[in-house]
Structure 1
């Protein structure tokens, strides 16, 4: 019998498995529904020998030195600074919306006036959430906030979340603020890099330990039974005395007894283009035009000499249980209340640990979820 069973092999599950096996020398079983490890960070080389991120672009960035140092045990790095353009009124401009974007979309005299007012009001190098700027009473800043809201946030948010920005939790809308700076980089973290051999290699090295066993193409419900009344967990028909670390959807482990938690999903369409490059940067967002939200070109992330390129168009959609992949929890007050019911149920089990974006119903970036896994290991396992 294993000491620990982990459901899911994304960063949450893999970090926990690696720590348990290496630090504690305990036996770990990973149960993974897909036919590969790595969760949504899985990547591979396509027919054009281009490294493609199967579930959409993943760009590593962090201010957590401990996270960067931890991952550096499993990979070498290539510095990479992410830049994004948005297609606005027929031209591509830098986002997050910054002082450079001002001069791209407005006449010089107006841009200079708005620049002065932003710096005077908020100071240089500050990030202002769009919903905060919309409260401005100054007519010029009000004009700017309405422009940015209408051209960049409103329609993109409607496509991405199926909701208006004001109906989404501020932790989501604050992720893409107006930046009072001339730095066109999408992230400003201290550590920004891409793993030299891709993310899948990180997971392979992380899980290459004699104490770690992996079951692929296995739904956890095929081998795990939960006795909700007596708060017991069974594995292959035997009571499991160890700890179950669950990184899947929290409502699923409780058989949706309170109803389904909403998620947003994506339809991902890959295309091979017969040219060296398709666009100027890795990602171009389309807030107002077309049904897709953005186009990613992977050769900008992992450069390679070839006269073809691979792009990805993302079409957001509502998550359909048992059909789609749940990518993003939908943050509303009602959904949080529903999640709290499931979290209360989980708290009644002595040997159940919930971890990750789906199990905790939170939006974690890669570095956040790795940091969270390292913390939970120290607090609840070690």
Structure 2
């Protein structure tokens, strides 16, 4: 049954970051907002919950908050306290775990060297394969660290993650991963790195807690949209679905999650995430207690298996897909009654803070600011 909406109400499709932030901004400006989501919970892919063993887990894989945007961090700080957390990752090559992203210690351990920062910089310069025009992810990595490190840490991981060769992916995918000459083994170096103290779901509950906001879950927009006449619609789902796949399906990469609890293990691995670029069908294992700081006799982990089919998680950033997206984007300019925002609606590989920024900008536009 379709929700009843008065004609002065804004409909927001999706209760993840994009939809919830826009909802809050419009509500605080005096607008009536109705949020729907086809899932039975708020918070989108950031949804976390206590598992059957009492450990706070991220149902849809690890979400690590980091940003250089003070404005974004302060905005979300209205809705959560924070637990400082700096994420660390190891990459397994030939059974040995190395710091990742690649840094000086990675080089020294992998090749039996004793490089200082200048030595690491000289090493990269020696092994890199110069690429005159960097277009693909393969170009980015070869131009930076050469073929051996590319094949050990990037090539097979990328093939698993995206179902494509790095030479087929746009440069921006690999450009997200730095290469360091120092011993900094943090995955991110952003100014603000923290986890919501009570979890993401609690933060979203606070975001959506406003008298002008109503939330209805388990509602599929495409089953009810013909019967609703909102004042405006904010759509955060896949853009191709909104237009009934007029030009064909945009490729998205999906994930399957294998959650596991180890009742008698206090700590399963030394860092929050371990990447397996060359082994197994999964890409990585994350142990949640690192992220949350929770104290528990057992531990819960998740393995991630990239798949072509399933819920859309990542837009696939290739030149061909970007061209197809542009055709859909042109259609959005004809729809003044709808605002498209978020990773799926804008076909962008956004981080969480970038989605928040995009949502704040969308809200300002809707409000005429």
CA–CA distance in structure 1, aligned partners of residues 213 and 115 of structure 2:
61
Give deviations 1:229-252, integer Å, cap 9, x for gaps: xxxxx51xxx44x11110000111
Alpha-carbon deviation of 1:116?
5.0
| 1:197 corresponding residue in structure 2 | 198
Match of 2:303, SS state, is strand
Match of 1:55 in 2: 60
Structure 1's 180 and 33: CA in aligned 2 closer, same or farther, altered over 3 A? Answer: same
1:93 alignment partner in structure 2:
98
How far is the alpha carbon of 1:112 from its aligned partner?
A: 8.5
Distance 2:50 2:141 in 1: 43
Cα distance in 1 for partners of 2:175, 2:268 equals 30
Structure 2 matches for 1:171-210, cutoff 5 A?
A: 171-210=172-211
Which residue of the partner structure matches residue 166 of structure 2?
165
Alpha-carbon distance in structure 2 between the residues aligned to 1:120 and 1:145: 9
Aligned to 1:15: 21
Determine if contact 1:50/1:302 at 8 Å carries over to the other structure. no
Residue 130 (structure 1) shift: 6.6
CA distance in 1, matches of 2:78, 2:118: 49
1:380 CA displacement: 3.3
TM normalised by structure 2 equals 0.91
Residue 110 of structure 1: how far off its partner (Å): 7.6
- The question of whether the paired residues in 2 share the 8 Å contact of 1:62 and 1:189 is answered with yes
From 279, 290, 296, the equivalent of 1:289 is 279
Q: Residue in 1 aligned with 2:129? A: none
The DSSP-based 3-state class of the residue aligned with 1:152 is: helix
Contact persistence 1:279–1:297 (CA under 8 A):
yes
Which position in structure 2 is the counterpart of 1:301? 291
Which of 356, 359, 362 is the aligned partner of 1:373? 359
Structure 1 residue runs of 4 or more that deviate by more than 3 Å after TM superposition: 109-114, 118-121
Q: How does 1:246-265 map to 2 (within 5 A)?
A: 246-265=235-254
Question: 2: distance between equivalents of 1:189 and 1:116?
Answer: 22
**C-alpha contact 1:130 1:145 (8 A) present in aligned 2:** no
CA shift for structure 1 position 179 = 1.8
Which whole-Å deviations, capped at 9, do the CAs of 1:226-276 have from their partners, x for residues lacking one? xxxxxxxx51xxx44x11110000111111111111111011000011311
Matches within 5 A, 1:1-382: 1=6, 2-22=8-28, 24-108=29-113, 115-118=120-123, 131-132=139-140, 134-135=142-143, 145-225=146-226, 235=228, 239-240=229-230, 242-273=231-262, 274-319=264-309, 324-382=310-368
Normalising to structure 1: TM-score of the pair?
0.88
Q: Secondary structure at the match of 1:359?
A: coil
Q: Which runs of 5+ in 1 are unaligned?
A: 122-127, 137-143, 226-233
- The offset of 1:224, in angstroms, is 0.7
* Equivalent residue number for residue 125 of structure 1: none
Q: Is the 8 A contact 1:130 1:177 kept in 2?
A: no
Q: Once the two structures are superposed, what CA deviation does each residue of 1:63-111 show, in whole Å capped at 9, x if it has no partner?
A: 0000000000001111101000011111101100011111110122588
